[in-house]
Chain A
Amino acid sequence: MNYGVTQELIDTYGEVIFKLSLNKQTRYGDPVRELDFDAIQEQRAGTGLTDEEIAKKIGLLPEQVSIVRVFVERKYHRIDLHRRLFHLGGGKRWKAAEYQHPEERLSIREDGMKLRESIRFDPDRASYYLENNYWTNETMIGWLNTHASDRPNSLSIISTDFTLTWLELKEEVDKLTNGLLGLGLKKGDVVALQLPNIKEFIVSYIAISAIGGVMQTIYMSHGEKDIEYFLNHSKARATISPDHIKNFFVAEKLCNLRSSSDTLDQVIVVGDDIPDGAINYNDLLVEGVPDVGNPPVGSDPFLLLYTSGTTSNPKGVPLTYHNMLGHARLCAPEFGMTENDKILSVAPFCHLFGLYNYHCTFYAGAATVLLPTFSPPEFAKLVQKVSPTALFMGPAHAAAFREKDLLDSHDFSSVNYSVFSGAACPPDLLKWWKSQTGSLVCQLWGMTELAAGTFSRPDMDENIGFNSAGPVSPGNEIRVVSSESGEELSVGLEGELQIRGSSVFPGYFNNDGANKSAFTKDGWFKTGDLAKINEARCLEITGRTKDIINRGGVKYNPSDVEELIFSHPSVDMVAIVPMPDDVLGEKACCFVKLCEGKKLTLEALIQYLETKKMSKAKWPERLEIIDEMPLTPTRKIIKGRLLELLD
Chain B
Amino acid sequence: MDQVNSDSAKEAMRTYVKKKGALAFGVADVEVLEKIAPDGYGPKALMPRVKSVISLGVGGGTKGSWAANAKTLAYIGDTETMAYRIAYGLAFMIEKKFGARSIFCPPDMDPEKGARTPLQSLKLHAEVAGIGARSMAGDILLHPEFGMMYYASVFTELEVPPDSPMEENPCPHPSCVKLHAQTGQTPCMKFCPVDCLSGSVDEEGKLKEMHYDAHACAAMSQQYEAIPNILLDMMDAKDPIERGMAVHSPENQMIWYKLSIGAGELLSLCYECMRVCPITQSSLPIKTESRKGGMREKIAEAEAQATMEKEIESGSAS
CB of A645 within 8 A of chain B? Answer: no
Chain A residue nearest to B219 in the complex (CB) = A81
Mark each residue of chain B from 91 to 135: 1 if its CB lies under 8 Å from any CB of chain A, else 0: 000000000000000000000011011000000100110000110
CB of B19 within 8 A of chain A? Answer: no
Residue from B69, B128, B251 in contact with A83 in the complex, judged by beta carbons closer than 8 Å: B251
Assuming A33-B133, A52-B40, is B208 touching A79 (CB within 8 A)? no
**CB-based contact A24/B193 at 8 Å:** no
CB of A128 within 8 A of chain B? Answer: no
Q: Which residues of B in the span 209-259 have a Cβ within 8 Å of any Cβ on A?
A: 209-216, 219-221, 223, 225-226, 228-230, 232-233, 251-252
CB of B140 within 8 A of chain A? Answer: no
Residue from B70, B190, B214 in contact with A48 in the complex, judged by beta carbons closer than 8 Å: B214
CB of B179 within 8 A of chain A? Answer: no
Mark each residue of chain B from 163 to 192: 1 if its CB lies under 8 Å from any CB of chain A, else 0: 001100100000000000000000000111
**CB-based contact A35/B165 at 8 Å:** yes
Distance of B254 from chain A, by nearest CB (Å): 9
Q: A89–B212 Cα gap in the complex (Å)?
A: 22
Q: A395–B73 Cα gap in the complex (Å)?
A: 67
Residue from B116, B206, B216 in contact with A22 in the complex, judged by beta carbons closer than 8 Å: B116
Assuming A27-B134, A33-B169, A79-B230, is B216 touching A51 (CB within 8 A)? no
Assuming A25-B138, A90-B69, is B215 touching A73 (CB within 8 A)? yes
Distance of A212 from chain B, by nearest CB (Å): 19
**CB-based contact B207/A26 at 8 Å:** no
Q: Which residues of B in the span 34-85 have a Cβ within 8 Å of any Cβ on A?
A: 35-36, 38-41, 67-74
CB of A78 within 8 A of chain B? Answer: yes
Chain A residue nearest to B133 in the complex (CB) = A33
**CB-based contact A92/B214 at 8 Å:** no
CB of B284 within 8 A of chain A? Answer: no
Assuming A26-B209, A29-B206, A74-B229, is B41 touching A89 (CB within 8 A)? no
| A49 surroundings in chain B (CB, below 8 A) | 38
Q: A25–B220 Cα gap in the complex (Å)?
A: 17
**CB-based contact B166/A74 at 8 Å:** no
**CB-based contact A24/B67 at 8 Å:** no
**CB-based contact A77/B226 at 8 Å:** yes
Chain A residue nearest to B223 in the complex (CB) = A82
**CB-based contact B165/A84 at 8 Å:** no
CB of A311 within 8 A of chain B? Answer: no
Residue from B35, B74, B127, B210 in contact with A33 in the complex, judged by beta carbons closer than 8 Å: B127
Residue from A28, A30, A82, A85 in contact with B133 in the complex, judged by beta carbons closer than 8 Å: A30
Q: A82–B222 Cα gap in the complex (Å)?
A: 8
Q: A23–B38 Cα gap in the complex (Å)?
A: 16
**CB-based contact B133/A86 at 8 Å:** no
| A50 surroundings in chain B (CB, below 8 A) | 38-41, 113, 117
**CB-based contact A77/B193 at 8 Å:** no
CB of B301 within 8 A of chain A? Answer: no
List of 6 A-B pairs having minimum Cβ-Cβ separation, nearest first = A89-B70, A90-B69, A88-B70, A23-B215, A89-B69, A81-B220
Q: Which residues of B contact A (CB under 8 A)?
A: 32, 35-36, 38-41, 67-74, 113-114, 116-117, 124, 127-128, 133-134, 138-139, 165-166, 169, 190-195, 206-216, 219-221, 223, 225-226, 228-230, 232-233, 251-252
Question: Can you spell out 9 A-B residue pairs with CB atoms less than 8 angstroms apart?
Answer: A23-B215, A25-B214, A26-B209, A27-B209, A32-B36, A50-B41, A82-B251, A90-B68, A94-B192
